[in-house]
Amino acid sequence: MQTEATRSPDLSNLWMPFTANRQFKAHPRMLASARDMHYTAADGHRVLDGTSGLWCVNAGHGRRPIVDAISRQAAHLDYAPSFQIGHEDSFRAASEVAALMPAGLDRVFFTNSGSESVDTALKIALAYHRARGEGQRTRLIGRERGYHGVGFGGISVGGISPNRKAFSGVLLPGVDHLPHTHDLEHNAFSRGQPAWGGERFADALESLVALHDASTIAAVIVEPLAGSTGVLLPPRGYLERLRAITEKHGILLIFDEVITGFGRLGAATASAFFGVTPDLITMAKGISNAAVPAGAVAVRRSVHDTIIDASANGIEFFHGYTYSAHPMATAAVRATLGIYRDEGLFDRAKTLSAPFEEAAHALKGRRHVIDIRNLGLVAGIELAPRAGAPGARAAEVFAECFDRGVLVRYTGDIIAISPPLIIDEAQIGQIFGTLAEVLDTVD
Ligand code: PLP
């Protein structure tokens, strides 16, 4: 007799996010469990996680210290409001996050996701200028092909057209965009940061300042390395130049580190990796190893203090979430940061980035491959699109890799690889070896 556990569920009620629902429901692909570097699919086959879930399970799956911390907390303090009352773990978690941030960014606001972190950071930027008596600085600048989640703030500064077009009439006013930094003509097959175009791409900000005047611009937000759009790297000198220009004009610089935070590039943050310190850093994903939804914004102390000090009394910043610093999230954050520290995972990622780069670039010359780019434990493999069917080739590569036991991710015709930092060299070989085989079979 079939029990609920063995009967297939009705797929009709769930409206899946960022999914081709009809195709999925016609050919469902289900995950059943996960441990360390592997998922087990519902049909029982093991799948090596080449993407850390969705760029988030940096310490690998099912890690005991996190599972134990969450269970203990659920039994001990299931929920505590964060408005006008606190619980001690939230303060400890904030201190531990702050200790991993660049010097000066030691004030931490908790959220539940990357999208919430982005909208929080944009609001902090606006509140900051208003507190300094420059409330006319309301313009926000994002970048083409940027992904900053799905809130109205995030899609307004974001630069991915399908995410924006249905909502185009109600996006935030006064937003402008820098050009993206992808240039296959000059930078194809770069290893690490591309050499060409850094200052030139960043100087587009000077043009926007000339157009709008600095006195109207509150903040610039960029991903130091753009992940979701298909792994676009900052050319050398680019982030440094953005920092110099924003500083010169009193514009806040926000790094969206939802993907790059917590070891992805072999350092705690991309800011530390590149040696460029913004004014705010948005985080989520790896902050809790994705075991419980969590996010945060790290804020430069002087920005925080300006907002706090501008208010004579009472609430200084009218913003927050029912689940800001949820006890289960702060327990997961603390246990996760403990694993990163105890197992030296950021250094591990740094050490592995050389063999990872070799393995990725060994795909050069395979059919369809028009670019390979990499940094830390991230690689993007761009395929030539199939005539008349953009995205179809990468979708087939994804499906075939899954059937052969490797999870990769695709955006358009770009395959993205971003494994947990506990990966070993043999598993790196398995990911790129499987990709090589699959590229040979896909038309
Ligand atoms: N910002 C960046 C850079 C991201 O990559 C993402 C998600 O991939 C987000 C924001 C949104 O995060 P979430 O899906 O947790 O809202």
Q: Is the CB of 400 under 6 A from ligand 1?
A: no
Which residue positions in the chain have pLDDT lower than 50?
A: none
Task: Among 52, 145, 259, say which to mutate for ligand 1: greatest number of ligand atoms within 8 Å of CB.
Answer: 259
Query: Is residue 114 lining ligand 1, measured as CB closer than 6 Å?
Result: yes
Residue 288 Cβ < 6 Å to ligand 1? no
Q: What is the tens place of the pLDDT at every residue in 20-78?
A: 999 999 999 999 999 999 999 999 999 999 999 999 999 999 999 999 999 999 999 99
pLDDT at 2: 61
User: What is the predicted pLDDT for the residue at 1?
Assistant: 57
d(C-alpha 340, C-alpha 56), whole Å: 13
What is the length of the chain?
443
Cα 141 to chain centroid, rounded: 18
**d(C-alpha 135, C-alpha 123), whole Å:** 12
CA atoms within 13 A of residue 359's CA, in its CB half-sphere: 22
**Torsions phi, psi for 55 (to 5 deg):** 65, 30
Q: What mean pLDDT, rounded, does the chain reach?
A: 97
pLDDT at 220: 99
Q: What is the pLDDT of residue 224?
A: 98
Residue among 57, 285, 321 to mutate when testing ligand 1 (max atoms within 8 A of CB): 285
DSSP state, residue 298: E
Q: How high is the pLDDT of residue 144?
A: 98
Does residue 115 have its Cβ closer than 6 Å to ligand 1? yes
Substitution site in 147, 163, 281, 411 for ligand 1 pocket (most atoms within 8 Å of beta carbon): 147
From the list 262, 265, 263, the residue with the least C-alpha distance to 283 is 262
For residue 227, report the distance from its CA to the centre of ligand 1, in Å: 9
pLDDT digits (tens, 9 = 90+) for 326-365: 999 999 999 999 999 999 999 999 999 999 999 999 999 9
Residue 49 Cβ inside 6 Å of ligand 1? The answer reads no
Q: Whose CA is nearest to atom 8 of ligand 1?
A: 228
Give the pLDDT confidence score for residue 7 in this predicted structure.
84
> Which residue ranges form the domains of the chain, and what is each CATH number?
21-59+344-441 (3.90.1150.10), 67-342 (3.40.640.10)
Q: What is the pTM of this model?
A: 0.98
Is residue 16 packed enough to be buried (19+ CB in 10 Å), middle (13-18) or exposed (0-12)?
exposed
pLDDT tens, position by position, 70-102:
999 999 999 999 999 999 999 999 999 999 999
Ligand 1 centroid – CA 58 distance (Å): 15
Inter-residue contact 129 to 139 (CB < 8 Å): no
- 374, containing H or E segment: strand 369-375
What does R_g of the chain's alpha carbons equal in angstroms?
22
Determine the atom of ligand 1 nearest the C-alpha atom of 259.
5
